[in-house]
Chain A
Amino acid sequence: MLVEAIWFMQFAFGKRSKHETVTQFYITGIKSLGVITVVALFTGMILALQTGLELRRYGQEVYIGSAVAVSMIREMGPFMTGLIISASVGSAIAAQIGTMTVSEEISALEVMSINPNRFLVMPRLVALVVMMPILSVYTNILGIMGGALVGTTQLGVSVQAYMDNATQFATNKDLYVGLFKAFLFGIVITTVSCHQGFMTTEGAVGVGRATRSSVIISFLTILVVGYMVTRMFYL
């Protein structure tokens, strides 16, 4: 399924698939912005507060900038984005394809010689692998801004000092390894959700089970893949 969808990616912006692909971009990217904004902002604020309170014991609260930036860019940005997208978009994909499966719409597509992988999986795969890194950058920016907010209002660290520290210790390697993780998470979420959707049986109950399974499996796979990538690049 994945290999076939990757093969069909060359037609993503073709006449027949463009509308579906753009729609998936919209659903994955724009419609997730609200929840991602809140989660990213508060993740950064929590990180800043927790590390800042510990660092304050040693008079080193000025370093919260680097702590928040490195944590967000390396791990928390892609990870939180992956969790949100798997819970919102991934579950929706599993539910939609699951419903189509149990109502035999997938079979109907096959009867009409429409490849479900091209028609259903490929646009979602393109949308997720493109949007996940972009949303991850958005999460990073908002997380760092949230940290700055807590740093300046709660911990007495100036914005200049916070930003200097934030950019001092983070590197481009951290940024692009994080984006690579987000890209892999996109593949994971699409694959798991579509697979769970296609494997749905037993009507509405099956759809619910497929949705739940897709979220749980995506969560676990994101964690494992995240660890493997970190180990691959930093050990």
Chain B
Amino acid sequence: MNKFRHEVSIEILVGLFMFTVLIALGIFTVVLSHDSIWKKSYEYEFVFTEVSGLREGDNIYLRGMSIGRVNQTSLHNNNVSVFVTLDVPLNLRNGYTIEVVNASMLGGKFLKIYEGPENAPALSQNITILGSAPVDVIEELSEAVNGLQEMINAVSEGQGTLGKLLNDDSIYNDFVEISQDVKLIVKGVEAGEGTIGKLLKDEAVYTNASVVIANLREISERLESGEGTLGKLMAKDGEVYADISTSIASVRSIAESINAGEGTLGKLVRDAKLYDETALLVEDVRAAVDDLREASPITSFGSVMFGAF
């Protein structure tokens, strides 16, 4: 009886142990499959021209959140079909992008989904979802390094402004000369030479300037107190201004009378008859003068001849 009980207890123990471990294996399998048994999942197919080493099990990110994994990748005609399972449905809009991105500099890839601008029209669920061509960071870095190397080489060879600055001695010499010139100028100024030097060093300039300022102040004070012609013009009582205004009004009145042909001056200006008579008078005077000029030699000769007798 004891032997039988011992055998049964061994069997139970072995059975329990195996059962427990098999349950653990089941849990392990579910956890490592990365599938959500209780959650609804959504399957999609993305079509790429190239996937740059994207593999089964790689993560998929939407707005920085992991939302699923790559199930399978397969070559299809000239493209690569990437089958994915997502935890959330995709609402793609015009302008969406799906990129294969490097997970780190050491390797690894993930899919980055951008659903498109907020205000863009939504796309139908039945469209073929196209992925963007992957960006090879290493290649881009290598190109940048090559560019940098070329730039350094060009600078080393003295090409361009930077190259000349670093390699051409004449620029340095010019700088030395300029600094020497500046030094000389500063020395001259310090010694009180030239206008700036005198401005800085000569006390007389300061004194003169003070006197000029004092004079200006005195003039301004006199103007303010209404002294002299300019002072009266600027006086606050407005007497001179009123006189000038009255005079201008009188001149305007005279000018209007002349313009209207009133008085002698008005007639002179406006009456055409007086102009014509004056013109005829001038012509008569000119003719009389011409006659006199022509008769002058004969008159002179007659005077001389008859004067002798």
Partners in one complex: yes
Q: Tell whether A7 is near chain B: CB-to-CB under 8 Å.
A: no
Q: Tell whether B162 is near chain A: CB-to-CB under 8 Å.
A: no
What's the tally of chain A residues with a CB closer than 8 Å to chain B? 22
Q: Tell whether A193 is near chain B: CB-to-CB under 8 Å.
A: no
Q: Which of A1-39 contact B (CB under 8 A)?
A: 19, 22-23, 25-26, 29-30, 33
Bound Cα distance A30, B9 (Å): 12
Bound Cα distance A137, B34 (Å): 18
Q: Which of B11-19, B82-90, B175-183, B249-257 contacts A (4 or more CB under 8 A)?
A: B11-19
Q: Tell whether A138 is near chain B: CB-to-CB under 8 Å.
A: yes
Chain B nearest CB from A81 CB (Å) reads: 12
A19, A30, A135, A171: the one contacting B32 at CB < 8 Å is A171
Contact indicator B29/A172 (Cβ below 8 Å): yes
Q: Which residues of B contact A19 (CB under 8 A)?
A: 7
Q: Which residues of B contact A135 (CB under 8 A)?
A: 21
State whether A137 and B33 are in contact (beta carbons under 8 Å apart), knowing that A19-B7, A25-B14, A29-B18 are contacts in the complex.
Answer: no
Contact indicator B34/A138 (Cβ below 8 Å): no
What's the tally of chain B residues with a CB closer than 8 Å to chain A? 18
Q: Which residues of B contact A172 (CB under 8 A)?
A: 29, 32-33
Q: Which of B20-45 contact A (CB under 8 A)?
A: 21-22, 24-25, 28-29, 31-34
Q: Tell whether A174 is near chain B: CB-to-CB under 8 Å.
A: yes
Contact indicator B13/A134 (Cβ below 8 Å): no
Q: Tell whether B214 is near chain A: CB-to-CB under 8 Å.
A: no
Contact indicator B24/A137 (Cβ below 8 Å): yes
Contact indicator A174/B24 (Cβ below 8 Å): no
Q: Tell whether A141 is near chain B: CB-to-CB under 8 Å.
A: yes
Interface majority SS (helix, strand, loop, mixed), chain A: helix
Contact indicator B14/A26 (Cβ below 8 Å): yes
Q: Which residues of B contact A175 (CB under 8 A)?
A: 28-29, 32
Q: Which residues of A contact B31 (CB under 8 A)?
A: 167
Contact indicator B32/A29 (Cβ below 8 Å): no
Contact indicator B11/A22 (Cβ below 8 Å): yes
Contact indicator A174/B10 (Cβ below 8 Å): no
Q: Which of A156-201 contact B (CB under 8 A)?
A: 167, 170-172, 174-175, 179
Q: Which residues of B contact A130 (CB under 8 A)?
A: 18
Chain B nearest CB from A78 CB (Å) reads: 13
Bound Cα distance A29, B18 (Å): 9
Q: Tell whether A140 is near chain B: CB-to-CB under 8 Å.
A: yes
Which residue on A lies nearest to B9, using beta carbons?
A26
Contact indicator B13/A30 (Cβ below 8 Å): yes
Sorted nearest first, the 4 A-B pairs with minimum C-beta distance are A25-B14, A134-B21, A26-B10, A172-B32
28 A/B residue pairs, CB under 8 Å, sorted by A: A19-B7, A22-B7, A22-B10, A22-B11, A23-B10, A25-B18, A26-B10, A26-B13, A26-B14, A30-B10, A30-B13, A30-B14, A134-B17, A134-B18, A137-B21, A137-B28, A138-B21, A138-B24, A140-B28, A141-B24, A167-B31, A167-B32, A167-B34, A171-B34, A174-B32, A175-B28, A175-B32, A179-B25
